[in-house]
Amino acid sequence: MENLINIKGVRHAYQTDAGPLPVLDGLEIGVPEGGFVAVVGPSGCGKSTLTRLVAGLMKPDHGEVWLHGERVKGPRSTVGMAFQNPVLLEWRTILKNVLLPLEIVPSKLSKKEAEDRARFLLSLVGLDGFEDKRPSELSGGMRQRASLCRALIHQPEVLILDEPFGALDAFTREDLWQTMHKVKEREPFTGVLITHDLRESIFLADQVVVLSGRPARTQYVLDIPRKSAPTLDDLYTPEAAEQLNILRHQIQVAQGRAPEGTT
Ligand SMILES: Nc1ncnc2c1ncn2[C@@H]1O[C@H](COP(=O)(O)OP(=O)(O)OP(=O)(O)O)[C@@H](O)[C@H]1O
Ligand SMILES: [Mg+2]
């Protein structure tokens, strides 16, 4: 099947005062329509850079990024993004924050339809009753839920999540993982998730891509076969332990702490 996202031979270096800093070097990632790929790798290896390339916020020096058979040349409303620190505007209500992207890039929805959609999304992530609150009145987990709704308001084909749950405590994070599965069932998208949490990667994604240290290349790809949404108990099965073991080892290789090929 043709991939919806295709990252082919991507190389990129930032120009810094100290000279070029090679960040990505030979990245190959393909995500089929409806697929959910988690990208893990050492800190600073270029994961956020990768999200900027897929979102069209930057162009790579070499190689190509394709979305739905079209070369990515700039930002588009069919890509939604959410980050570790949800930047919500304090002077707007939660509902108005979720609606914000529609003011920047208008959609075909009428004002009423847009508001209904925002309310639907907020209720999908468990935020009914908080529509008229301000961001500071919400917990960190709730703010992240609202930011997810904002990323989904345009009904994006592609959802890019850059460590969205990284700042949350473990229990809140697990709640949000389950919410993510619920959201994906109701609002299908093709996803790229950047994370440092290997359990998160195997719980949410159907494929985990391990990047090498900087400059990052695709070092290892692990498929996570899945028939239906997992439960948290599935993280404690021998299969999950095996997957986590493989990934932990690959991260050590990426960090230069274990030779490739050993287990
Ligand atoms: N605009 C920029 N100009 C120069 N260097 C940059 C720029 N953005 C990022 N870098 C550098 O590029 C490297 C990769 O950055 P990036 O943010 O993509 O890494 P990351 O894998 O997301 O890291 P982390 O896991 O800590 O979030 C880092 O060394 C960073 O300092
Ligand atoms: Mg990053």
pLDDT tens, position by position, 207-257: 999 999 999 999 999 999 988 889 999 999 999 999 999 999 999 999 988
Residue 56 burial class via C-beta count within 10 angstroms: exposed 0-12, middle 13-18, buried 19 and up = middle
Name the strands in the sheet holding 158-162, side by side, starting at the edge strand that comes first in the sequence.
79-83, 158-162, 190-194, 36-40, 207-211, 218-223
The count of other CB atoms within 10 Å of the CB of residue 28 is 14
CA of 213, nearest ligand number:
1
Q: Supply the DSSP symbol for 70.
A: E
Domains identified in the chain, total number: 1
Shortest-distance atom of ligand 1 to CA 211: 21
The environment of the single-atom ion ligand 2, i.e. residues with CB closer than 5 A, is 47-48
C-beta of 44 in contact with ligand 1 (< 6 A): yes
Q: What is the mean pLDDT of each run of 10 residues along the chain (263 residues)?
A: 88 94 93 96 93 92 92 86 88 96 88 96 94 96 94 93 90 93 93 96 97 94 91 95 97 86 62
The count of other CB atoms within 10 Å of the CB of residue 78 is 14
Distance from C-alpha of 242 to C-alpha of 187, rounded to nearest angstrom:
31
Q: Say if 91 falls within a structural domain.
A: no
Q: Say if 86 falls within a structural domain.
A: no
Q: Say if 187 falls within a structural domain.
A: no
Domain hosting residue 45, numbered range: 1-75+197-263
